Structure 1
Amino acid sequence: MRRIRAAAAGAVTISLLTAATACGGGSSNGGGSNDSPKTLTYWASNQGASIAVDKKVLAPELAKFEKQTGIKVKLEVVPWSDLLNRILTATTSGQGPDVLNIGNTWSASLQATGALLPWDAKNFDRIGGRDRFVDSAMGSTGAEGKDPAAVPLYSMAYALYYNKQMFADAGIDGPPATWDELVADGKKLSKGGTWAIGAEGANVSENVHHAFVFAKQHDAEFFKPDGTADFTGDGVVAAVKQYVDLMAKDKIIAPGNAEYAQNQSVSDFAKGKNAMLLWQSAAANLKSQGMDPDSYGIAPVPVQSGTPGTGANTNSMVAGINLAVFKNTKNLDGSTKFVKFLTSDAEQKILNTAYSSIPPVKSAQDVAPFTDPANAVLKDTLATSAAALPQVADESQFETAVGTAVKELFADAAAGRAVTTASVKAKLEKAQQQMPKK
């Protein structure tokens, strides 16, 4: 699932060097210098188990587009660890691609750079209209009241994946629905060298995603209505502590997970080292690692009490990838044709099937495999119990600051240092001080 602004972009680049797990990078000879109507440069994000997998998925589709339009697409798949900084460099240098993938949580901050093409009614008409896209996906395309900075490409939601045999061996009938149940089950499962659940403790973006969901469940927000950062309220502090306590207090996450930064918890789950996994649309990733889909179940992420829904029962952020066009492209016609192609019903089915994601295009959702029971949890979550991360200009700085605070708290837990309400608040206060002043 894997999140910038113009005049200030250069100033924030250094602070963003550690951000990322949800988008893909750039090239020095991209859209700004492309004056050929027969070529496009496309930066795709690393969605598959490897860059090689992405190239294998995308190559036949790009060939299909070239055959239909005569336009050749120069593809670069960019790792999440590089994507945000490469986009920032492109926004300041003007040397970027024609079309690029961005993590949907970056939409508002990238929108504020002024470097991306606004998707007004005229531009949406070129690709079949805004109404084709589901509301939850459109909610993560930019700041409210402004024309979107991008259009949805892949939609994802967090779910709880659980190992059926490990649950049966522990005498547990089914997946936990609340965090109390997860902790209780987790203590039964954490034994003999196996652990209940994994975490990516050094993964800044994963950290902030979970902190955001826990905060929503505590009726807390990270920003005030005027956009001012508010990281130290009681609800936010309690939420972050509850998440880190899965390792620090409950001891159902292995201490070594504090150093995990990129898919290690997925690998541990696939290998039977952990009984549960919290992840965005993980089926394709698990399959690539040899895990039989019949060996695990998929359930909604737990809530504090009751069942998933809106408000305090939010159990996922609206995860996904958006598709953007650099405003300075010399091939606007070709770029919009490419966006129309990638968001067509046929391509939405092919690409989202390959990546185990959900099409954000309404008319592409009502066909297999998106009607399968395994995808029902993800579709229902996106429709009823997922919330968009804050669509504010400082969103990417928020991810870096809060995600790093959680990373440091996991490091404390792994080292046996106490994680207390006071220590959590101190880390969040430090993170808030790093935010741009209003």
Structure 2
Amino acid sequence: MSKASNRAKLLSAVAMVALGTTVSACGSQSNTSSTQENTAGHATSMTLTIFTSKYTANPQAQEQFLNKLASQFEQKNPGIKIQFTYYDSASQENTTLQTSLATQQGPDIFDIGTTFVPTAYAMNGFHVLSKQDWDKIGGLQKFFPAQLKMSGPGSGHYIAVPWEMVPFGLVYNKKLFKEAGIQSPPQTWTEFVKDAQKLTNPAKNQWGTAIDPADSFDPWHVGWVLTKQFGGDFVSADLKRATLDSEAAVKGLTFWFDWVQKYKIASPNDMTNKGTDELRAFENGHAAMLVMQGTSLIPSLESSAVKDDYAFAPMPTIPYGMNALPQGGVPVQTFVSGNDFVIPKYVTGERYQAALKWIKFFTDVPQQNEMYNVYGQMPVNVNAYKNNPELNTPVIKAFVAAENHAYPIPFTPAWGNIEVVYGGVSNKIANAIATHSYHDGDISAALKAANQQAQSSLQQ
């Protein structure tokens, strides 16, 4: 799971702040940023605090890496010290963010997930970056254009600076493909189903693909992409009307469950799958393809039985049974995903300028390349990919291609609740299939009920 996916767990709770819920601060909070002053009252040094999530897979490596970068930055910027504070739970992040904005003191820079930006923007507590601010960071042209589509509701209203991107793609087993006589990964969903059928052998517990409908958040990833390809969305363009019950949304979710029900390319036992179960099936050779997978899988794949047999490709874009996108359909291969820096409005003056300097430093090519070497996270700086052999591989090229076909989710603070209700539909349908109580029309009815909940969130 990407950090952006984990961050989605925070969305529903924090969205309530953006939608008008009163936030009460429990006691006072000392500002973790400090400025030392001499007797003349002039600032001689300051400490910037950056609030970021703990990399639980290897927190020691994270601290060493960030402390190393902090030391390099401090040498180049005398008088500015960098301090990191870490959170390891959504509730801790939620509490710190709410308290900081309510009391107007706290961290100088927040590291937030890309799909959280609409909620953060609605809270009206973060700086909108001016053209001069962007120039100090390195200019908008420094970043992959797709990532900027989630920096704010539109040009001139950006609050978030990307520092990492997490495009999603199709991972497949090259060995199983070769054994089945398949020369290349599918480019359309028709090819995907046909290839998956060739790769399926229930007697060997080998399936063309796998799904994880019991996961809390993964289902919307696939469902939203399929819905967009069919010409729909989860929310109307004016962000006023929920459209989870549209024909395109019903088609998208139906097609996903048809991998089990109709095409028999995924195991019936997948109805209780979560993301980790899906990954385990691929690593053990029980699933030949997985959709909507990111670079965060690579460390696990490298230590698995398929370490020499996996490859990535962009997601298919043409709906099943079609030769081209339908009217209104768009060639979505991934949603815009990653992580961003935002600066609270209570950070002003010299501290604000210092925060911009840190963001520029962190998103410059040397630091972006080092981040990839330590974490395997993809740089968002376009120049990081030039003349870098480690980022000039088939795997990375597949993700860069996907990034160039990344589309933003609807920019609404209600998105967190929409994710949750869509996940509830997926769970309900999976349970019906598992208990043999599924009927035609169940998906349409479940999405209609979910749409009413989504509409309530939009109206708050």
Q: Pick the TM interval, shorter chain.
A: 0.7 to 0.9
* Candidates 332, 337, 356, aligned match of 1:319: 337
Match of 2:406 in 1: 386
Sequence identity percentage: 22
Partners in 2 of 1:61 and 1:335 — Cα distance?
14
Amino acid at match of 2:228: K
Tell me, yes or no, if structure 1 residue 428 matches structure 2 residue 420: no
Within-5 A mapping of 1:31-430: 32-36=31-35, 38-45=46-53, 49=57, 51=59, 54-55=62-63, 57-69=65-77, 70-78=80-88, 87=97, 91-92=101-102, 96-190=106-200, 191=202, 192-227=204-239, 228-278=241-291, 279-282=293-296, 284-287=298-301, 289-290=303-304, 294-303=308-317, 304=319, 305=322, 311-329=329-347, 331-368=351-388, 369-383=390-404, 385-418=405-438, 420=440, 422-430=441-449
Partners in 2 of 1:92 and 1:259 — Cα distance?
41
- 1:257 and 1:116, CA in 2 relative to 1: closer, same or farther beyond 3 A? farther
Offset at residue 344 of structure 1 (A): 1.0
Offset at residue 343 of structure 1 (A): 0.6
- 1:31 and 1:405, CA in 2 relative to 1: closer, same or farther beyond 3 A? farther
Amino acid at match of 2:288: A
CA contact under 8 A between 1:6 and 1:91: conserved in structure 2?
Answer: no
Offset at residue 130 of structure 1 (A): 2.2
Query: Could you tell me the TM-score, scaled by structure 1's length?
Result: 0.83
Of 300-309 and 353-362, the range deviating more from structure 2: 300-309
Query: Could you tell me the TM-score, scaled by structure 2's length?
Result: 0.80
- 1:419 and 1:134, CA in 2 relative to 1: closer, same or farther beyond 3 A? farther
- 1:298 and 1:85, CA in 2 relative to 1: closer, same or farther beyond 3 A? farther
- 1:148 and 1:30, CA in 2 relative to 1: closer, same or farther beyond 3 A? farther
- 1:156 and 1:31, CA in 2 relative to 1: closer, same or farther beyond 3 A? farther
Structure number with bigger Rg: 2
Say which SS state the counterpart of residue 71 (structure 1) adopts: strand
Q: Deviations over 1:295-326 (max 9, x none)?
A: 11222212225589994332221222222222
Say which SS state the counterpart of residue 393 (structure 1) adopts: coil
Amino acid at match of 2:433: A
Gapped regions of structure 2 (runs ≥ 5): 9-13, 36-44
CA contact under 8 A between 2:219 and 2:426: conserved in structure 1?
Answer: yes
Of 303-312 and 155-164, the range deviating more from structure 2: 303-312
CA contact under 8 A between 2:32 and 2:107: conserved in structure 1?
Answer: no
Amino acid at match of 1:250: Y
Amino acid at match of 1:428: L
Match of 2:38 in 1: none
CA RMSD of aligned residues (A): 3.3
- 1:437 and 1:133, CA in 2 relative to 1: closer, same or farther beyond 3 A? closer
Amino acid at match of 1:211: G
Match of 1:25 in 2: none
Partners in 2 of 1:335 and 1:154 — Cα distance?
17
Of 30-39 and 151-160, the range deviating more from structure 2: 30-39
Partners in 1 of 2:103 and 2:251 — Cα distance?
42
How many aligned residue pairs are there?
422
Say which SS state the counterpart of residue 330 (structure 2) adopts: helix
CA contact under 8 A between 2:216 and 2:420: conserved in structure 1?
Answer: yes
Partners in 1 of 2:234 and 2:117 — Cα distance?
17
- 1:5 and 1:355, CA in 2 relative to 1: closer, same or farther beyond 3 A? same
Say which SS state the counterpart of residue 106 (structure 1) adopts: helix
Partners in 1 of 2:116 and 2:354 — Cα distance?
24
Gapped regions of structure 1 (runs ≥ 5): 14-27
Amino acid at match of 2:112: I
Match of 1:16 in 2: none
Amino acid at match of 1:285: P
Partners in 2 of 1:141 and 1:219 — Cα distance?
24
Say which SS state the counterpart of residue 196 (structure 1) adopts: strand
- 1:246 and 1:340, CA in 2 relative to 1: closer, same or farther beyond 3 A? same
